[in-house]
């Protein structure tokens, strides 16, 4: 399947009114087609069944390069899968997208694809950690969004605890950064951790909460007594 064929299938479900609303909501300069997310899910699930891994990566690359909003979402969805073998090409493509992030919707979809690849090979955290000092705000944010799976274990193994502490260190280093999306990402990580390890989330807030923006500190403590 070519990117042109895939894009035609996406565009067939477009709606101009929805596109205009989404473009305004996301404050986006790129083309929007007005295709609902469930439709993109159905299309990409079908493509994943039809295509082998190299073909999926090639199609995802082509869709991303169109710079159309729904095409970039579809590119990320094509690679959002727990088992991709081999997955080095998929990981390389996902990481090549990170410096291009310019809004939360596309970034979050791409990070969801990245989450699967990082949990498949935690050695990739070394690259993710390098993003924490980037001058690009969305790259810094991606280091927290892409590591959210480590907030979810109720009974983490020692190596999972080590990753959790490592990422909490990144989050702590972000606290002085008062940009809204950075504060939101810190809050997101600690809030999710609070569902599974309330004492550790509470300890983070006791140490850093007073330096966070009030909205972020409140959100981070949402699930804490």
Q: What angle do CA 61, 126, 185 make, to 5 degrees?
A: 75
User: What is the average per-residue pLDDT within 159-175?
Assistant: 98
Q: Under 8 Å CB-to-CB from 43, ≥6 apart: which residues?
A: 6, 9, 10, 74
Query: For position 49, what pLDDT does the model report?
Result: 94
The yes-or-no verdict on residue 214 having pLDDT over 80 is: yes
Burial class (CB in 10 A: 0-12, 13-18, 19+), 218: middle
The yes-or-no verdict on residue 213 having pLDDT over 90 is: yes
**How confident is the model over 125-142, as pLDDT tens digits?**
999 999 999 999 999 999
The yes-or-no verdict on residue 185 having pLDDT over 80 is: yes
**How confident is the model over 51-100, as pLDDT tens digits?**
999 999 999 999 999 999 999 999 999 999 989 999 999 999 999 999 99
Q: What whole-number distance in Å separates Cα of residue 11 and Cα of residue 3? A: 12
CB atoms within 10 A of CB 26: 16
Q: What whole-number distance in Å separates Cα of residue 57 and Cα of residue 223? A: 38
Residue (of 53, 97, 39) closest to 72 by Cα position:
97
First-to-last alpha carbon distance for the chain, in angstroms, is 52
CB atoms within 10 A of CB 126: 8
Q: What whole-number distance in Å separates Cα of residue 197 and Cα of residue 69? A: 36
Residue (of 37, 35, 38, 32) closest to 9 by Cα position:
35
Q: What whole-number distance in Å separates Cα of residue 122 and Cα of residue 73? A: 24
DSSP string, 26-91: TT--S------HHHHHHHHHHHHHHS-HHHHHHHHHHHHHTT-HHHHHHHHHHT--S--SS-HHHH
Cβ atoms of 122 and 156 within 8 Å: the answer is no
H helices of the chain, in order, are 3-11, 16-25, 37-50, 53-65, 69-78, 88-97, 104-120, 125-130, 137-145, 158-174, 180-196, 198-208, 214-220
Q: How confident is the model at residue 154 (pLDDT cuts 50, 70, 90)?
A: very high
Query: For position 225, what pLDDT does the model report?
Result: 76
For all residues of the chain together, what is the average pLDDT?
97
User: What is the average per-residue pLDDT within 34-42?
Assistant: 97
- The whole-model pTM stands at 0.95
């Amino acid at each position: 399947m070519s990117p042109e064929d895939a894009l035609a299938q996406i565009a067939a479900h477009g709606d101009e009114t929805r596109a205009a609303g989404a473009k305004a909501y996301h404050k986006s300069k790129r083309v929007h087609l007005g295709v609902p997310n469930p439709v993109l899910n159905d299309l990409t699930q079908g493509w994943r069944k039809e295509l082998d891994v190299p073909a999926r990566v090639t199609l995802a690359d082509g869709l991303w390069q169109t710079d159309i909003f729904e095409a970039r979402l579809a590119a990320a969805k094509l690679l959002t899968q727990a088992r991709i073998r081999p997955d080095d090409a998929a990981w390389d493509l996902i990481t090549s997208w990170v410096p291009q992030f310019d809004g939360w919707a596309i970034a979050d979809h791409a990070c969801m694809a990245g989450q699967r690849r990082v949990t498949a090979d935690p050695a990739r955290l070394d690259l993710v950690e390098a993003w924490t000092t980037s001058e690009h705000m969305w790259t810094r944010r991606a280091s927290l969004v892409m590591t959210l799976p480590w907030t979810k274990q109720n009974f983490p193994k020692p190596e999972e605890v080590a990753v959790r502490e490592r990422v909490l260190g990144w989050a702590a280093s972000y606290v002085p950064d008062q940009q809204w999306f950075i504060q939101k990402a810190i809050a997101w990580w600690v809030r999710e951790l609070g569902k599974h390890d309330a004492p550790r989330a509470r300890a983070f807030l006791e140490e850093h909460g007073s330096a966070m923006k009030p909205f972020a500190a409140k959100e981070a403590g949402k699930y804490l007594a």
